[in-house]
Structures are given as C-alpha cells and as structure tokens.
Chains A and B, each alone.
Chain A
Amino acid sequence: MASNAAVPFWRAAGMTYITYSNICANLVRNCLKEPFKAESINREKVHFSLSKWADGKAQKPVLRSDQPEV
C-alpha cells in the first residue's frame, strides 16, 4: 500500500485522518468523468459556523464555508 509510507508525513503536518481521507476523496472525485464530476463536487458543500467558548461566553463565531459570503 502506497499510503502507508505517507502516514507520518500528514500526521506531522497536523492533519487528522479525517482531513487526509477528505483530501483523498476529493482527488477521487476529480478523477470522475464530467456529468458525475460536477455533480459529486456540488453535493459536498461545507457550511457552518463554529464558536469557541471561554468563561461562559461565546467568542466570535468562525464561519467554515466553501461558498463566497452573500
């Protein structure tokens, strides 16, 4: 398995297995032929806002979104 050798490297880059597998999944999606490629890429949209809490108060929310802000 080629990926075995890569493990320490993405770990060292501060990635989790989830990020790594997402990048791999994205690569596979990019390999698809056209109607399926656009469809599968459009399906996977990321949008949510996350805020950390400190001392019982919410900090400023961070928007995690791959779409431009409206």
Chain B
Amino acid sequence: MAMAVFRREGRRLLPSIAARPIAAIRSPLASEQEEGPLGVRSISTQVVRNRMKSVKNIQKITKAMKMVAASKLRAVQGRAENSRGLWQPFTALLGDNPSIDVKKSVVVTLSSDKGLCGGINSTVVKVSRALYKLNAGPEKEVKFVIVGEKAKAIMFRDSKNDIALSVTELNKNPLNYAQVSVLADDILKNVEFDALRIVYNKFHSVVAFLPTVATVLSPEVIEKESEIGGKLGELDSYEIEGGETKGEILQNLAEFQFSCVMFNAVLENACSEMGARMSAMDSSSRNAGEMLDRLTLTYNRTRQASITTELIEIISGASALEAAK
C-alpha cells in the first residue's frame, strides 16, 4: 500500500527525488530500463518476484506432467511388450518386405494427439515423407492415412492432396484390441492398397525410440511374390487345413496381420509418446529450476543493494547532521 502511494508520488516528483532507494538499484535488468520515458521507474524487486512466481508455477506443471506421463508409461509399456508376440508369427510366416515395389502404397503414419512430447511426431512425419519419395513415381501412387492430431497438422501443410484418411481421438480410452481392429477394418475398407506401410516409433527405452516401418502386403501381392519364389517362396511348403483356397486364406491372414501389426504399432507409439513426454518434461523442469536459481540470485542481489543504499543514505545523512552541529 505504502509502495503504491510512493510510486504515485514519484511520478509527480521524479526529478526532485531521484535518489530513492529503489531507483538507485543497479542490476542487469535495470540498466536497459533506465533510459525509459519520464515517469517510468526503473526495475523494482516486484517484477523479479512475479517472474519467479511464474517460473515456479511452470516448474510445478511440468513436474506434474512428468509424473502423469511416467505412470501412464508404466501402464502402457507392459501391454506394448506383450503385444509384440502378436506380429512376430506373421513376420516369421510372411516376412517383412519394406523394399517391395508395388503400384499402390499406403503410408499409415502414427502420431500422438497431444504435443509436448519431444520430436517423436516430427520423426514419423519425416520417415513418411521419405517413404513417399521412395515409392511415388509415374504410375505409382502413394496415399497417407494419418492417425493422431499432430502428424495431421504437419502433413496438412505440404501433402494435403495425398491424405486419404485421418483418425483422431484414439487415446480417449485405454488402447485395446477391439478399438484398433475396428480402426484397421475401417482403413482396409476405405483405401485401396498393394502394400501398407505403417510408420511408428518403436519403444526401446524411456529415452530411445526407433522410427520403424512395418509392411503389410495385400493378398494378391503375397500370392504373386510366393509364385515368383522370392522371399515368400517358402509359403507353399505350408499345409493348409480345411477346405479354403489359398487366396481366401491369404486374404484372411493379411487382414488379421494388418490389425495385429496396427495394434502393436499403436501401443508402441503410445509408449514412445509417454517416454518422450517424460524426458521432455524432465528437462523442462530442470531448465525451470536453473532459471529460478538465476532469478533468485538477481532478486537477492537487488534486495541487498537496496538495503546497502538505504544504509549509506541514513549514515551519510546522520553524519551530515553531526557535522552541521
């Protein structure tokens, strides 16, 4: 209260009382404000204190976000590791052929809905663009299916004409197979493809994620490849039970493979997202801490300086009176 009165007074009487304790403070922050217009006072400790308060609040938020990410990570990590068993048999049977050359490719880009999770979304987008460049060409078309808000926002800028589908709000409930399989079903029904390339971040550890491409071929392509006898040549040595033809079996297999691979990819990506968010929030709380330290130092120095100035004023005033006697 007293400060406010002081300040108002100061605006009127500024030239006459220049040697106010607060105005006398010299700090790095003050120096650039000294040449301000008349009536604007130089730095007060108030500004620094406000700044400190806001930095402290930001630090609290980032710490809380880190905690949330850590607990979510623990929940999703086990599921992601368990789900790896779903696609491994498929890879053993049908192989993973990222280099296959087909007419219609569909790149399924998995990303997160929320930000503040480091670079995982930009890496998947980079990989998807590279896949686009590799596979696009005359008589070959590449379409994107985008899962997650973030990749959509980035892809929209330069390749919006190649987006076929976009999916969001996948993470509202805990991820489960039913959900992902419905999604896989929708993707299968809405795009035409010879090869689906699923781009996601494979979770290695809390700080390591590998951008990964999983390839799912359409039944026709598998059949063609196995007849040519390339990597899929061994497929004919398997015995098929029941009365279905090979084409039917392959179609069922390819569909089920896609939904399983999607399930694993979605989980791995969610896991990477949480890990990335955790480390991002960890470093931002650390940065906030460092900033707070610096600000505290400035604040204390300023305060000390003002106390010293006041003391000097009192002492010199007293000694002047003493001398006048």
How many interface residues does A have (CB within 8 Å)?
Answer: 28
Partner of B167, one of A1, A21, A48: A48
A-B contact count (CB 8 A): 88
Chain A residues closer than 8 Å to B242, beta-carbon distance: 1, 4
Is B251's beta carbon under 8 Å from chain A? yes
User: A residues 30-70 with Cβ under 8 Å of B?
Assistant: 43-53, 55-58, 61, 64
Using A4-B243, A48-B183, A64-B182 as known contacts, say yes or no to A16 and B255 having CB atoms under 8 A apart: yes
Partner of B178, one of A17, A22, A49: A22
Chain B residues closer than 8 Å to A49, beta-carbon distance: 167-169
Is B35's beta carbon under 8 Å from chain A? no
Identify which of B43-51, B157-165, B222-230 touches chain A: B157-165
How many interface residues does B have (CB within 8 Å)?
Answer: 37
Partner of B176, one of A19, A43, A50, A56: A43
Main secondary structure of the interface of A (DSSP, over half): mixed
Give B contacts to A, CB under 8 Å.
Answer: 160-161, 163-170, 172-174, 176-179, 181-186, 188-190, 241-244, 248, 251-252, 255-256, 258-259
21 contacts across the A-B interface (CB closer than 8 A): A1-B241, A4-B242, A4-B244, A16-B189, A17-B255, A18-B185, A18-B188, A18-B259, A25-B178, A44-B177, A44-B179, A46-B182, A47-B170, A47-B172, A48-B169, A50-B166, A51-B166, A56-B160, A56-B161, A56-B163, A61-B168
